[in-house]
Amino acid sequence: MHRQSGQSGWSGTLLAVALIVLPLASARAQPAPPPVNRVSPPATSPPGVPATPALKADPLAVPGFWDPRRRPERPDLSRISIIRFLTETDYPPFNYAGPDGTPAGFNVDLARLICEEIKVACTIQMRRFDTLIDALNRNEGDAVIASFAETPEMRLKVDFSDPYYRMPARFVSRKDVDIDVVKPEALEGKKIAVVAGTAHEAYLKALFTEAEVRPYPNPDAARAALKKGEVDLLFGDGISLAFWLNGTDSGNCCAFRGGPYLESRFFGEGVGIAVRRGNELFRQAFNWALFRLWEKGRFTDLWLRYFPVSPY
């Protein structure tokens, strides 16, 4: 699902500031993957993400947008003395306030790794989601790392680094429901839960025209309907669904079926780091750092710590 203004449930304007960049685990060599790379799962999960050993035995998919034959040129990093990242509080597991109120999540840890690779100090400020782009363009930060999907509308406001993941859409069904084929003709008459007003609803109505699409006001309501057996399938953001499936709230009820669905017309062209328009120094620095983190295997390690159930 594209991140849209006003989705954050937090009412404050500014939550946390300085983030000390700390070294993480040592890197390992990483062979070149295709756009989605199948690898072995990690041994541990990040704090707050419960492990699911049975699922961890399967190969997992990791986004990989980088081509080793097209290495980004190393920019003049001596011109960067500090990077001021902006993010928001209410989009776990990507960015959220930890128990002590400090920034946490996949995007926050990725920002740490980027700063470590570039060898500069960083700060992270947490703001309401709908204030981030305006704050960036007022020079209150250098970059936004908050899971913004790159769309034509967003490119009118900011420039983006290369994408580092895409937001796949996925179907989920109860484990006791036998649905092996997920195609428009195979789902005729099936009841499919979806969050109203989303790109996922538009996609279903455009392509799964014979299914019975049932819109719900929010993800919790759609997931509850699936757990109760009121619908046959749920269609939504694969990343948040993977987080739900791997957590306790799902009650181990359900599993992915079919997909992933990555049509850019509906689900965007990937998630990158936003910078002010024309800021080529930071954009190129992020592209170089992201490539280096992927090349060393550190991006893969980080992704699998947060997503032991693959959203792809």
Burial class from Cβ neighbours inside 10 Å (0-12, 13-18, 19+) for residue 18 reads exposed
Alpha carbon of 51 to those of 60, 121, 183, 235, 310: distances in Å? 14, 33, 31, 24, 13
More confident residue, 140 or 22: 140
Q: What angle do CA 173, 175, 177 make, to 5 degrees?
A: 70
Q: Which residues pair with 219 in a beta bridge?
A: none
pLDDT tens profile 230-254: 999 999 999 889 989 988 999 999 9
Using pLDDT thresholds of 50, 70 and 90, give the confidence band for residue 180.
confident
- Mean pLDDT for all residues in the chain: 83
Using alpha carbons, select from 284, 280, 286, 276 the residue that is nearest to residue 75: 284
Mention every residue, 6+ apart, whose C-beta is less than 8 A from residue 192. Answer: 171, 204, 208, 211, 212, 213, 214, 231, 232, 233, 234, 235
Q: pLDDT at position 70, please? A: 83
If you write DSSP's letter for every residue of 185-251 in order, what string do you get?
GGGTT-EEEEETTSHHHHHHHHH-TTSEEEEESSHHHHHHHHHHTSSSEEEEEHHHHHHHHHSSTTT
User: For position 133, what pLDDT does the model report?
Assistant: 98
> What torsion do the CA atoms of 172, 178, 183, 187 make, to the nearest 10 degrees?
-90
Mean pLDDT to the nearest integer, 131-158 = 95
CB of 167 within 8 A of CB of 268? Answer: yes
pLDDT: which is higher, 241 or 259: 241
Give me the CATH topology for the region 36-166+269-306. Answer: D-Maltodextrin-Binding Protein; domain 2 (3.40.190)
Gyration radius of the chain over CA positions: 19
| C-alpha span between 170 and 241 (Å, rounded) | 8
What's the CA gap between 146 and 169, in Å, rounded? 19
Taking the whole predicted model, whether its pTM rises above 0.75 is answered as: no
Please compute the mean of the pLDDT values over residues 72-98 and round it to a whole number: 92
Look at residue 139 and tell me whether its pLDDT is greater than 90: yes
Mean pLDDT within 254-266: 92
Residue 37 has pLDDT above 60, yes or no: no
CB 128 within 8 A of CB 35: no
Give the residue among 308, 39, 272 at the shortest CA–CA distance from 166: 272
- Host H or E run for residue 115: helix 106-118
Q: Is there a common fold for 36-166+269-306 and 169-267?
A: yes
Q: pLDDT band at 73, cuts 50/70/90?
A: confident
Among 52-56, 75-79, 189-193, 288-292, name the one with the lowest average pLDDT.
52-56
Predicted local confidence at residue 311, as pLDDT:
85
Q: pLDDT per residue over 106-129, tens digit each?
A: 999 999 999 999 999 999 999 999
**Pair 235, 194: CB distance under 8 Å:** yes
Residue 177 near residue 198, CB atoms below 8 Å = no
What's the mean pLDDT in 92-110? 94
Phi and psi, residue 157, nearest 5°: -105, -35
Q: Is the pLDDT at 14 greater than 90, yes or no?
A: no
Every domain of the chain and the residues it spans: 36-166+269-306, 169-267
Question: 76: how many CB neighbours lie within 10 A of its CB?
Answer: 9
Contacts of 264 (CB under 8 A, 6+ apart): none
More confident residue, 90 or 121: 121
Burial of 67 (0-12, 13-18, 19+ CB in 10 A): exposed
What are the tens digits of pLDDT across the range 160-172?
Answer: 999 999 989 999 9
> What is the CATH number assigned to the segment(s) 169-267?
3.40.190.10
DSSP letter assigned to residue 156: T
Is 44 a residue whose pLDDT tops 50? no
